[in-house]
Chains A and B, each alone.
Chain A
Amino acid sequence: MAEKAISPVMKQKKHVPWLYLLPALIVMSIFIVYPMINTIRLSFLNEDSTASAATDCREGQPCWGAFENYRYALTAEIDGSSFKAGWESFWLSSYGNMIKWILVMVTGTVVIGLLFAVLADRVKYEALSKAIIFMPMAISFVGAGVIWKFMYNFGTSETQIGLINAIITAFGGKPVSFLSTIPVNTFMLIIVGIWMWTGFCMTILSSALKSIPEELLEAARIDGANEFKIFFSIMVPIISPTIIVVLTTMVINVLKLFDIVYVMTGGNFGTDVIATRMYTEMYKNFQTGRGTAIAVVLVLAIIPFIYMNISRFIKQEAER
């Protein structure tokens, strides 16, 4: 874009571009830039932002001074009494859960999305089948939460009205209370996330696959390569830049995830993620300092992926 020449006839008075930019710049500074800076400031203050966070320190307790809220944000969920207790509590903390979410959900959506994009490309009802996978993207997390709560429903009576438990009991198994049983509940929530976001990955990967020249695949087939070989040694390497974009975007989406957990378990039974924990501190416990510190931790976790996305963007712009 920097190099793209705009012809001299389009020159205008110096202030004119800024008039066009002004509405956007004003709302963005008020609603994104200012709150971002202010959130960082609040994270160093106490619960009602009247004094430094250091005043929350108690005698005989660990204290990080002005970083006291960060101590809370990072360590409060961890049971430090022994290594084993610490390890176990970590995997039920919002951070441990976030790692589970990222590993399972990102892999799940990308793998199923890629698989489905490759397979659906070979059948006549491609458009319809893709629309069905994609449909959950259009509905709200709240709606999806209700749909899946019903799927996972656990009844104390003999007949199970939740489909999953009905299948389990039909095969002679014992019904499970999926949403309150640790550690299976987090994975049940992740399934909902996969159901919702696979369509996103599939659509982007599918359009990348379609841009691979058909002659290339034909040539490989004539040379005797089987479909698996074509997939792994031709398709995947060619679309790998797109796969990376989808991966980073999905990681960012997962890190910010709030609604599914809030609607389905409210973060109880060891299912907290960073965003629901922040919400609890802020609006249930009214601990502004701690809540904002958790928000800052979230941003710090996202920054590497922001960097990857922006450097991709700059590269793209250079190629325009």
Chain B
Amino acid sequence: MNKDAFNNVLKKIPLHLVIILIIIIWLIPTLGLFITSFRPVSDINTSGWWTILSHETTGDSRFTLSNYIDALVGYRGTNTYLEDCAAGTQSLDLKCNVSDILNPRGMGRAFVNSLIVTIPATIIPILFAAFAGYAFSWMHFKGRYILFAILVGLQVVPLQMTLVPILRVYKTLGLNGTFLGVWLFHTGFGMPYAIYLMRNFLGGLPKDLFESAYLDGASHWTAFTKLVIPLATPAIASLAIFQFLWVWNDLLVSLVFLGGTTPVMTYQISNMVTSLGAGWHLLTAAAFLSMLLPMIIFFALQRYFVRGMLAGAVKG
């Protein structure tokens, strides 16, 4: 290594230190949650998670999976689910067989509910937005510009403003506590951003492509299904990730429209936080379970996520 290169490396040391320091600060909270979720209850409450390797464990092992099992089945006792089932002292709502995974108090059931809420609430708005985005980019009609501006402007209406009237409408229609109600609400609310993103993307497709398709006698419907949908896949992917995470992570909407009858993961956790009876061992495991899917999606599809964010920096 010559002297100049060495000096360059030396000059960069403070830079690396600052970056690494910020990274560590950002990672530590999540790391603490992750480690704690694998520790036995007695250890969690008597020593900090950062001492996991040095601290004498009070149980059989420093690591355990029982927090996850307890969280999944909704066990709330003082031992663990497996111990209680082995001793036959489990509470009445547990059967100690595989059906416990769908116990309404557990995260297993909440995971299923979250999926049922999220998947249609992601697909429907994207479909609607693709139609609208196509009309806004490639069709002639009066008031196109002003209508688009109004729709995009609606992006900034806060969710809180719409809850009460919708709740009343749902009450008369019997949609309270139903999945359909939540799907429709998320569809309506996801629409402005979805249309904005779709139009930006579809409007950027080459004009010649459409001209030649129409000259060949293609109708708008053919152009839409055969040209636009395949070409818009990257935009659809960005949008899908955004909407999926938005719905999956939402608390307020599921709190108001679903509540405790069909709890989703965020509801279940917030319930565990605010009510007593769930210790750190359950909370950390439950929180990590709820973060699992978003984390996988985020790290696998980060490119699309960032693109979606840059395309429309305003999300209601």
Contacts and interface: CB of A to CB of B under 8 A. Distances in A.
Report whether chain A binds chain B. yes
Interface of A: 1-2, 4, 6-7, 9-12, 14, 16-18, 20-21, 23-25, 27-28, 30-36, 38-39, 42, 112, 116, 119-120, 122-123, 129, 131-143, 145-151, 153, 159-163, 166, 195, 200, 203-204, 207, 245-246, 249, 252, 255-256, 258-259, 262-264, 266, 275, 278-279, 282-283, 288, 291-292, 295-296, 298-299, 302, 305-306, 309-310, 313-314, 317, 320
Given A14-B141, A132-B23, A163-B50, A150 B284 contact: yes
A312 B77 CA distance: 56
5 contacts: A132-B27, A142-B266, A148-B29, A162-B48, A200-B309
B79 to A, nearest CB: 21
B167 to A, nearest CB: 9
Contacts of B222: none
Nearest to A23: B128
Interface string B118-150: 000000000111011011101111001101110
B117 interface: no
Interface core residue of B148, B211, B215, B313 (most chain A CB under 10 Å)? B313
Contacts of B274: 263, 266
B65 interface: no
B180 interface: no
Q: Which interface class (under 10, 10 to 19, 20 to 34, 35 or more) fits B?
A: 35 or more
Contacts of B149: 310, 313-314
A33 B154 contact: yes
Given A160-B48, A161-B47, A204-B313, A275 B27 contact: no
B256 A283 contact: yes
B305 to A, nearest CB: 8
Given A42-B165, A139-B295, A161 B132 contact: no
B239 interface: no
A246 B134 CA distance: 28
Contacts of A320: 203
Given A16-B220, A143-B290, A145-B273, A279 B160 contact: yes
Interface string B246-284: 001111100010000000011001100110000010011
A163 B48 contact: yes
Interface stretch (B81-89, B92-100, B188-196): B188-196
A131 B148 CA distance: 34
Contact of B251 (A17, A25, A140, A255): A140
Contacts of B207: 6-7
A245 B313 contact: yes
A166 B23 contact: no
Nearest to A256: B158
Given A17-B139, A135-B298, A295-B161, A146 B26 contact: no
Contacts of B220: 12, 16, 20
Given A10-B139, A10-B140, 11 more contacts: A6-B139, A12-B139, A24-B151, A136-B26, A200-B309, A204-B313, A256-B316, A258-B251, A259-B251, A291-B164, A298-B161
